[in-house]
Structure 1
Amino acid sequence: MFGYVTIDKLELKVKDYYKYRAYYCGLCKTLKERHGRFGQMTLTYDMTFLILVLTSLYEKEPESAKQRCLAHPASKHWMLWNQFSEYAADLNIALAFHNFADDWADEKKISGYAGAVYLKKSYKKIADKYPRQCQKIEEGLKKLGECEQRNEENLDIVSDCFGEIMGELFVYQEDEWQDNLRQLGYYLGKFIYLLDAYDDLPEDIKKGNYNPFKAMAGQPEYHEICEEILEMLMAECAREYEKLPLLENADILHNILYTGVWVKYKTKKLGEEKNNDSRSI
């Protein structure tokens, strides 16, 4: 479900691209230090966005270093990390644990069982440290499972489940910014869930899996309706983003929210249009 909240590389300045990569690599480094190499494998771009938002909002200077890693063994590369990298790394593990557990419960995937067993101890520590966030993850995923069981077709209801999870994760601490951060994460979470469902629909139909878009997929204006829904969600997300005093990393954050989140969608749409054109020839 993750991997949509990333940069639009072609529209980003070179210096900002390397800075973004440095935060991403810093998160990778933090995952390894706190949760081992297996934890490092759960790395997502989405949590890098969270780090950038919190770093900018709370004006925390990151630590900086050039280091080698398994992915880049030949030469040292720039890394940036801070307390929000640790926060994002822990929440990344919490989400990964539940994802593995669901894979085992729903599809009896051995990889899901192995992942859940490996991360169980780490998750318990994270749940003790961040009870508010982890409780919301558990509640949201339970609601999502119930939606899937009853084959929920209401897009707003089913996307609320993941929206509420992301909303809570964006609240690092309960202060004057918590409402705006929660709303920002909420709309972003709804967007991620629905974009992922839209992306997975052909495969879900083939496999007989649940997907909230199945009921409307046959409508003539299906793709236009989906795009309109996604645009409205990102408009709400951007509205909350604009309320926050985010100056540091502003160009990167702006790039992610206004163009980066659409990269995979536009790539898929372009591919479908080319396929349709080839069929019509």
Structure 2
Amino acid sequence: MFGIVRPCRHTLCKSLHEEWIAHLCGLCLTLRDRHGHLARLVTNYDGLLVSVLAEAQAPELSPHRRAKPCALRGFAGADVVDARAEGARLAAAASLALAAGKIGDHVADHDGLYARPLVGAVARRVADRWSRASARESAELGLDDEVLRDALDRQPLLEARGGLTLLELTEPTETAVSAVFARTGPLTGKPHNAEALAEAGRLFGRLAHLLDAVEDLDADLKAGAYNPITATGTSLEEVRRLCDDAAHGLALAVDDLDLERRALERALLVTEVRQAVRRTFDEREKRGPRRPPEAPSGFFPCLAECMVACTCGAYQPRWSPDYGKRCRDRFTCPCDSCDCSGCCDCCRCCRHCDCDGNCCDGCDCCGCDC
């Protein structure tokens, strides 16, 4: 599981967390039902934002169903977005295209196990299958798949050119995410949202690219791999400024959207995005010059990595940077006039809206069902 927006029950109220799980599990099951069990490996936190945006604009076009027990939910059932929902299908198409492009890059660069002929051949076949599935799904939903493939193809060319600025290197990611976000407007009968959605997607794509580069900086330096931050000589202070500006612009774009439901969409694209920026740079600062633990080689590490994939990241080996990590984004009430010493859990909803400070009197301000 990957992505920059990773909320948990400590940072969302109960009803919003259940809504988020509905989209997360819905994306996973949509990939399974429409593209096979192997496709579930491309489930990611950021891809489900497409499904969230679609439902926020037209809830009636996003049917739900009751899913059977799953090991990742503690063998409990759950309310999930149905695979018929066009938002979930669009999220699945985008996730497949992204995964196919990533695998293609690894095979072309002969990275790690991909350098082995048999592994490379199998990976290439899987990538081709996912690319075709994405193109087919995108065509049915009216999304120009060529925009996504062109962005993925241009990225390595820009990296090889040299002499570019950091924002010039993030442009393909911005373009791809912008196109996917913008498509949810016409798809839900609100084409007037397309411009604000495109801007939100462009800024979110920039953030995803930059934060990923910051997280990978130490590992890339040790391996001698390409990283846009070192390649452009950009300081971390400047990267943080670019991220903060993008997060602010994203919040403004979200405010311009015409939505039927706003609570979850604002919680993820505003509050959680800002937390992702803080978390990434805070962890980088605490880590300092230390290198991440080196993964051993052999059969058991390969088995461990399979466990990571099969559990969608719930299991982490000891050499993983996520091993032993606990949620540090506990809720803190933003209402200066609110005495949170005796507040109920509903009060945490108030940070997702413009609250008048009387958040302990209920959650009508954010519209969630606490």
> What is the CA-CA distance between 1:231 and the residue it aligns to?
0.7
> What is the CA-CA distance between 1:9 and the residue it aligns to?
4.2
The SS at the match of 1:244 is coil
Distance of aligned partners of 1:79 and 1:128 in 2 relative to their CA distance in 1, 3 Å threshold = closer
> What is the CA-CA distance between 1:3 and the residue it aligns to?
0.7
Specify the code of the residue in structure 2 equivalent to 1:177: N
Calculate the TM-score normalised by the size of structure 2.
Answer: 0.67
Question: Which among 252, 277, 280 is matched to residue 264 of structure 2?
Answer: 252
- Contact kept, 8 Å, 1:7 with 1:252, in 2: the verdict is no
Distance of aligned partners of 1:267 and 1:112 in 2 relative to their CA distance in 1, 3 Å threshold = farther
The two structures, once aligned, show a CA RMSD in angstroms of 2.7
Distance of aligned partners of 1:214 and 1:274 in 2 relative to their CA distance in 1, 3 Å threshold = closer
Partner of 1:20: 20
> What is the CA-CA distance between 1:164 and the residue it aligns to?
0.3
Partner of 1:93: 96
> What is the CA-CA distance between 1:91 and the residue it aligns to?
2.0
Instruction: Give the Cα–Cα distance (whole angstroms) in 2 for the partners of residues 6 and 172 of structure 1.
Output: 23
Instruction: Give the Cα–Cα distance (whole angstroms) in 2 for the partners of residues 272 and 199 of structure 1.
Output: 7
**Structure 1 position 127 matched with structure 2 position 135:** yes
**Structure 1 position 223 matched with structure 2 position 223:** no
Instruction: Give the Cα–Cα distance (whole angstroms) in 2 for the partners of residues 275 and 209 of structure 1.
Output: 20
Distance of aligned partners of 1:86 and 1:53 in 2 relative to their CA distance in 1, 3 Å threshold = same
**Structure 1 position 237 matched with structure 2 position 279:** no
Partner of 2:76: 75
**Structure 1 position 148 matched with structure 2 position 159:** yes
Distance of aligned partners of 1:32 and 1:223 in 2 relative to their CA distance in 1, 3 Å threshold = same
Partner of 1:176: 192
Distance of aligned partners of 1:192 and 1:113 in 2 relative to their CA distance in 1, 3 Å threshold = farther
Unaligned runs of 5+ in 1: none
Specify the code of the residue in structure 2 equivalent to 1:67: K
> What is the CA-CA distance between 1:226 and the residue it aligns to?
1.6
Aligned length in residues = 274
Specify the code of the residue in structure 1 equivalent to 2:270: Y
Instruction: Give the Cα–Cα distance (whole angstroms) in 1 for the partners of residues 172 and 120 of structure 2.
Output: 22
Distance of aligned partners of 1:157 and 1:209 in 2 relative to their CA distance in 1, 3 Å threshold = same
Partner of 2:173: 162
Specify the code of the residue in structure 2 equivalent to 1:207: A
- Contact kept, 8 Å, 2:62 with 2:87, in 1: the verdict is no
Question: Which among 102, 107, 115 is matched to residue 104 of structure 1?
Answer: 107
> What is the CA-CA distance between 1:261 and the residue it aligns to?
2.3
Calculate the TM-score normalised by the size of structure 1.
Answer: 0.86
- Contact kept, 8 Å, 1:8 with 1:259, in 2: the verdict is no
Question: Which among 194, 199, 218 is matched to residue 202 of structure 1?
Answer: 218
Give 4+ residue runs of structure 1 displaced > 6 Å after superposition.
Answer: none
Moved more, 261-270 or 202-211: 261-270
**Structure 1 position 30 matched with structure 2 position 35:** no
Any idea what the Cα deviations from partners look like across 1:159-202, whole Å, max 9, x if unmatched?
A: 11110011111132653322222121111111111111122122
* More RCO (CA 8 Å, sep 6+): 1
**Structure 1 position 117 matched with structure 2 position 151:** no
Q: Indicate the percent of aligned positions where both proteins have the same amino acid.
A: 22
The SS at the match of 1:177 is helix
Instruction: Give the Cα–Cα distance (whole angstroms) in 2 for the partners of residues 271 and 125 of structure 1.
Output: 37
Question: Which among 263, 279, 292 is matched to residue 267 of structure 1?
Answer: 279
- Contact kept, 8 Å, 1:43 with 1:92, in 2: the verdict is yes
Unaligned runs of 5+ in 2: 291-370
Distance of aligned partners of 1:73 and 1:14 in 2 relative to their CA distance in 1, 3 Å threshold = closer
Instruction: Give the Cα–Cα distance (whole angstroms) in 1 for the partners of residues 281 and 192 of structure 2.
Output: 40
Distance of aligned partners of 1:101 and 1:113 in 2 relative to their CA distance in 1, 3 Å threshold = farther
Specify the code of the residue in structure 2 equivalent to 1:98: G
- Contact kept, 8 Å, 1:187 with 1:236, in 2: the verdict is yes
> What is the CA-CA distance between 1:118 and the residue it aligns to?
2.3
Structure whose residues are more often helix by fraction:
1
Moved more, 4-13 or 152-161: 4-13
